[in-house]
Amino acid sequence: MEPAERQGGRLIVVSNRGPFRFKKVTEGFRSDRTIGGLVSALDPLLRQTGGTWVAWDDEFRKGDPLGSRVKVPLSKPEYTFRRLHLTKRDVRLFYQGFSNRTLWPLCHYFMDRCEFKADQFEHYQKVNEIFAEATNAEAREGDTIFVQDYHLALVPAQLKRLGTRANIAFFWHIPFPPWDVFRILPWRERILGGLLDADLIGFHTRGYVRHFATCANKLFGAKWDESTETLHLPGRSIQVRACPLGIEFNEYEKIALQPETQKQAATIRKHLGTPIIILGADRVDYSKGILERMEGIQRFLELYPRYRRKFSFVQIAVPSRTEVPEYKTIMSSIDETVGRINGRFAEEGWTPIHYYSRAFPRQRLVAHYLAADIALLTPLRDGLNLIAKEYAACKPDDNGTLILSEFAGAADEMEEALIVNPYNVDEVAKKLKIAVEMPVKERKRRMHRLREQTAAHDIGWWRDDFLGGLIGSLGGR
């Protein structure tokens, strides 16, 4: 049945990156679904409604045999992937530039790392227009358009100017800063005004909602009603909700229970050869606090020398934005810090820090979660931190301890974690000692509660709770 014949509206997802990658094979092309919570949450709903996913595909070029509108998955087409092409200049100025060298550091409170360049903002506007025009061409009255994240903040307003009559929802996945930080942005009215043309806006925490509402009041005189989660502007009202993203809890737990994963976890423990394993896992970014975490490990060794040779710290750091010079500098600094600490404390047959600068396949990552007695996740600022939730999901025996930065959005909901200030290396060391010496009964009680909360608020809950009534208005097959 073609989409035009369906009853009710469809879902149209708009994001920077798409739900499928395509690979040339002997018989033509194969489609592989990309890994990530967002795709896991929204792909089933798109299949149900026969909707469209609009996104940039960095492999799409003029003359591509698959074309700009591909029915996916190729093996059993159920919805449309509208592929967008961006030039190298677009990518450099929109993505590497304004998105990740202006908005990203600003929203993570790293004002000294911000660039404020007019040509970058001009290309940000241009690319947002490309997304908006493609989305408007796909949409019809009764549809729900769901726009994702800080890369596309102008899309709601641009859609309204194009005459879109669909409902518009927007989710901001990174921190939203307070007024005294956000006001630094020279294009603050444009960014906030772009968002305020959505009908529903979501953030991970109530704190981000309050920051957003304050900024809307300062710039546009909007009035915030927390009891109804409504932002009132002249002539219209907007729902603004806190709804933290969940993970595929059952999938992670299932992988953790597989004999092959458990075998890998046992091999990891045997290879490290210490009774205590501490794990850090992050994408490489200055906001993740990896260097500060290393200093915390060093302080732990200084304050509690009796634990030397009794623990191994494993840091998985997935390279990211490697085309940006400052990220190469961060990776070099991590390498140097690991070398310095290991050089100072390593003894024959024992190295305190094991550092892996690469991405791991999901099963291998789950095996590390399973093997680790303690997860040390200490971002300096993080919109949420899904790694914390993944770690909890991979502890079916409740035997693990989570140490989590107070500046991660997930700290608001994961109350049974040991909460720490990542800037305070003495506190990090002391929380590590508490985790190492925690009685088994308390450790299991805390992890059991964390797992209950994570399971109850999984990726499906996030989708249904945030989109709420909008999902009910969408048509099925």
Cis bond leading into 73, ω under 30°? Answer: yes
Residue in this structure with the two tokens 């079916």, named with its chain if needed: 396
> Please, which residues bridge with residue 11 across strands?
144
**Contact at 8 Å (CB) between 288 and 282?**
yes
Residue 173 is among the residues annotated as catalytic for this protein: yes
Smallest CA-to-CA distance from 229 within 241, 217, 221 is with: 241
- DSSP H helices, 81-150, are 88-90, 104-107, 118-138
Which of 108, 151, 173, 457 does the annotation list as catalytic?
173
Q: Please identify which of the residues 90, 197, 282, 382 carries the catalytic annotation.
A: 382
Residue the block writes with tokens 């796909």: 138
Tokens of 19: 């739900």
- Confirm whether 108 is a catalytic residue: no
Residues taking part in catalysis: 173, 382
